Amino acid sequence: MLVDLAHWLVLPAPLSLRRLGYVGESVRLASRSRRCRAAWAPHLAAAKGTVRAAMEGLDRRDTAVVLGSGLLDDVPIDDLARAFRRVVLVDAVHPWRARWRARGRANVTRLTHDLSGTEGLLLGRRDALEPVLPALCREADLVVSANLLSQLPILPVARLEAAGRLGSWTDAEAFGRRIVAAHLDALAELPARICLVTDRDETEEDRDGRVIERLDLLYGVDPGPAPRGWDWVLAPFGEASRETRLVHRVAAWPDWRPA
Ligand SMILES: C[S@@+](CC[C@H](N)C(=O)[O-])C[C@H]1O[C@@H](n2cnc3c(N)ncnc32)[C@H](O)[C@@H]1O
């Protein structure tokens, strides 16, 4: 707990994104990924394999953009840095672990950006959603959305639920759906190859394998049929609860296009 607090204090991030809770989420993600290293290993390997498959057969390898780069746990950063002239990591927070992993790679840069388009709305500076992707995505040859999609609505929806209203938004489900759909719509408009890796739903299971609860993490938005999929044991028994575990179903596309 004290280690997490110290980590939170020293993590470089703009005050606005810190106020919105992104630094706290990043610190919790780092702690959980350490605790669940063994349970997460197959998921991280499968996600990296999808990104490597996405790198194959590209006509040009100038710029790769990684959206939701986070800890770089599920991103083969060395392969990307070797293959592309430049690699741009985009996230609300760039944790120390990711900075360390990309150290010495002069062609890897970081961009701090809110990819949900809700920052202004949440801070009361705007009434409407903003464009979700940085302009440089239009110049990229490969854009990777790395286990980001399901994460985008979490903090904005929690804030709407707490406030009751944000601009003209009052319906949390519709707000979550809009955020998820806006990411896919923006990806669909890019000329780049899109590599999409995302968890789609969460099941809570007991020790006999009975499903206690199932949650659609994408608010009913369907990115289409996926060529790859696997289970990610997000919280093994003993992590969130002694008697249940949380399993996420992941879908992955080395070359995603809307259905
Ligand atoms: C589950 S992690 C993705 C894992 C990451 N690819 C890795 O290897 O560690 C989700 C990432 O999405 C980022 N994220 C969530 N909401 C965001 C937002 N609105 N804008 C930018 N990044 C966001 C988080 O900071 C986090 O790093």
Q: In this predicted structure, what is the pLDDT of residue 255?
A: 98
Q: In this predicted structure, what is the pLDDT of residue 259?
A: 82
Rounded to whole angstroms, what are the CA distances from 13 to 125, 170, 209? 19, 29, 41
Residue pLDDT, tens place only, 31-56: 999 999 999 999 999 999 999 999 99
Whether 51 and 76 have beta carbons less than 8 Å apart is answered as yes
Pocket of ligand 1 (CB under 6 A): 22, 26, 29, 68-75, 91-93, 114-116, 146-148, 151-152
Q: Which residue has the tokens 């949650």?
A: 215
Q: Does domain 2-253 have CATH number 1.20.120?
A: no
Residue pLDDT, tens place only, 231-258: 999 999 999 899 999 999 999 999 999 9
Q: Mind giving me the DSSP string for the chain?
A: -HHHHHHHHHS---HHHHHTTHHHHHHHHHHHHHHTHHHHHHHHHHHHHHHHHHHTT-S--SEEEEET-TTSSSS-HHHHHHHSSEEEEEES---HHHHHHTTT-TTEEEEE--TTS-HHHHTTS-SSPPP-S-GGGGG-SEEEEES-GGGTTHHHHHHHHHHS-BTTB--HHHHHHHHHHHHHHHHHT-SSEEEEEEEEEEEEEETT--EEEEEETTTT------SEEEEEEEE-TTTS-SSEEEEEEEEEESS----
Ligand 1 atom nearest to 26, measured from its CA: 25
The Cα–Cα gap between 135 and 140 comes to 10
Judge whether residue 128 has pLDDT over 90. no
Name the token pair of 24. 């706290």
Residue type, 143: V
Q: Which residues pair with 259 in a beta bridge?
A: none
Q: Nearest CA to 50 among 242, 188, 251? A: 251
Ligand 1 mutation target, pool 91, 160, 217, most atoms within 8 A of CB: 91
Mean pLDDT score, 158-165? 96
Q: What percent of the chain has pLDDT over 90?
A: 87
In the reported structure, the alpha carbon of residue 91 is separated from the centroid of ligand 1 by a whole-number distance in angstroms of: 6
Whether 235 and 246 have beta carbons less than 8 Å apart is answered as yes
